[in-house]
Structures are given as C-alpha cells and as structure tokens.
Structure 1
C-alpha cells in the first residue's frame, strides 16, 4: 500500500509498505542434540536454502497458533513446548508486519505435513548446533530468521554460545 507521509523535517514523501499479512512466524526446533530445520527452494534466490519452519499468520490466529500450524504443515511435527523467543521487523523500511520467533524443545509428536502446495517444496533438515554455526560462519545460512533465532537462543541460554 502506498502512503503519503510527513517526515520529521516537515517534508512529505511517499512510502510503499507491504501490509499483506498481519505477522509472520518461525520456530527453532530442537530434537535431542539436533535442530530440525527446513530446506526449501526459494525462487527469488533460485536456490535451495536452510531456514526455519514458518510462514504467514492470519488475522484469526495468535502467533503461537500460527507457529504450531506451520510446524505441522511443513515438518509434520507437533510441538509440546513452544516458547516465545524474539519478535523483530524483517525489513522496517518496507514491511509493516513483525516476525515472531519461537523456540521448541521437549517431546515432539507426529503430525501430518501438508504437501498440497506445489510452491512449497519443504524438506526436513536435521543438523547439530556446531554444523549450523559453521554454516553461518561460512555465509551459507542466509535466512535472517534462522540467524536471529540462533543468536537469541544462545543469548537466552537455550542453546550453547555461538561457535562453542
């Protein structure tokens, strides 16, 4: 949506702001010593990347309900423990919606993945924290939600310090 705004110096300009969704969610999932990530083909990048299970929330659900739904749709798992981790703005210059990050630990129950959307080809990727840290250091992890979730989980004591 395009907005005409008055700037702090009194001037006016227009901003195009993405207000297409109310919020997004992503969850960093632990299963024993492993992290459960998604590996998805991202057309804008024309490559497969590691990222977190997540997606858009709707106006009729809470962020935690959306995170639970996305976990089951993308990985086929149901989290028994889902903790808020951090909320951030992915692109504060162009998007109005926040990204709610969650952390899941504890027992996972089997659910059913939704494989009906041809644009979402999601593969489960299981990896250790040390491997994730190495991929981050090598510049192979480019998804901001995954990088932020890893850093916040370390800062909160939920995962070992970065590079440990």
Structure 2
C-alpha cells in the first residue's frame, strides 16, 4: 500500500456515456483530511504509427470538435470491452487508412491525463504495409496524409500536429532511429 494512497469514502456517478464515465469521489487524504476528486473513466485506446516503405508516417487529418480545428494525427481508436489492444490497432489502421500491416511491434503505453483520467493508450509501430480498404465509422471524416519525419516535426511546430499521442509516437520513432533500432 502506498503512503500517498487516497481512499474513496463516497462516490457519485455524474455521467455514463459512450466514450467516458464521470464520477466524483470524496477521498481521505494521507494527512487525514478529505477532498474531492473528479474522475474520468475511459476503456483505453490504441494509436498506430504506420511507416511506409519510403519511410513516411501515415496520418489522418480530421476536425476535432473539442479543439474547434482540423488536426493531423496518427490513426487511433477506442478499445471495445475486453478487446486485445493489438487487434484494435489492426482494425483502426485499416478502417481509417485502408492499410494492412504485416509487421507489428508495441512502442509503449501511456496514461493521457493521470491527474483525473484512467485512459491508457497503447502505441504500436506498423510496418510492411499493404493497401486494404477504408471503412470509416458513419460519423468519421478523415483524409490520409503521409509525411516524412522532418515534415512531421514541422507540423508539430505549426500546431497542425497538436495531440499527445501523435507527438509521443513520432518522438519514440525518432529515438529508435537515433539508436539504430528503426
């Protein structure tokens, strides 16, 4: 048991949605006082860094309502209940880009916002790509765009790439390249 653990004394479910659930917990702090925590529960997600034979990163451009702008991201999606993250990654890559990859490896996993959310994103590297067929969800509108590492870094600078999972994956891939592992 951690000496910093916060024990839940009471909780209230505020919202149960398609993507997230929101609860407010009253907790006992390590110093004996009480506080409130607003917590977001998410089933987890995957993100796919797909690299073409000519060493380009496969991305999708889409409008994000929360940001009120279009952004360039690597393909990603929410895990279904009890879904294997690798199977989800394969599905999302093909659905969003029409790509099927023969070689898969896990880059890493990370929590998006551990101060208030439990969302864990599993990041995969997909290589040896072949064209399949795009099969977007009916509420999904994206265009595929492929970029070199330098072009991707320029898109980060211009804020066209502006999400943590994409920046994280690009930097992980660059680190692998620097270490001679990519």
Task: Please classify the TM superposition score into its range, dividing by the shorter chain length.
Answer: 0.7 to 0.9
**Structure 1 SS opposite 2:80:** coil
**Structure 2 match to 1:132:** 152
- The alpha carbon displacement at 1:62 in A equals 0.8
* C-alpha distance in 1 between matches for 2:45 and 2:137: 21
Kept in 2, the 8 Å contact 1:153–1:159? The answer is no
**Structure 1 match to 2:17:** none
Identify if the C-alpha distance between structure 1 residues 98 and 158 changes in structure 2 by more than 3 Å, giving closer, same or farther. Answer: farther
Q: What TM-score comes out, normalization by structure 1 length?
A: 0.87
Computing the radius of gyration from Cα coordinates, the structure with the larger value is 2
Q: How many residues align?
A: 157
**Structure 2 SS opposite 1:114:** coil
**Structure 1 match to 2:101:** 79
**Structure 2 SS opposite 1:154:** helix
Structure 2 residues without counterparts, runs of 5 or longer: 1-22
Kept in 1, the 8 Å contact 2:70–2:160? The answer is no
- The alpha carbon displacement at 1:158 in A equals 7.6
Q: What TM-score comes out, normalization by structure 2 length?
A: 0.79
Higher strand share: 2
Identify if the C-alpha distance between structure 1 residues 48 and 128 changes in structure 2 by more than 3 Å, giving closer, same or farther. Answer: same
**Structure 2 match to 1:61:** 83
Q: How does 1:42-121 map to 2 (within 5 A)?
A: 42-106=64-128, 108-118=129-139, 120-121=140-141
* C-alpha distance in 1 between matches for 2:62 and 2:114: 25
The structure showing larger relative contact order (alpha-carbon pairs under 8 Å, at least 6 residues apart) is: 1
Structure 1 residues without counterparts, runs of 5 or longer: none
**Structure 1 match to 2:43:** 22
* C-alpha distance in 1 between matches for 2:57 and 2:74: 10
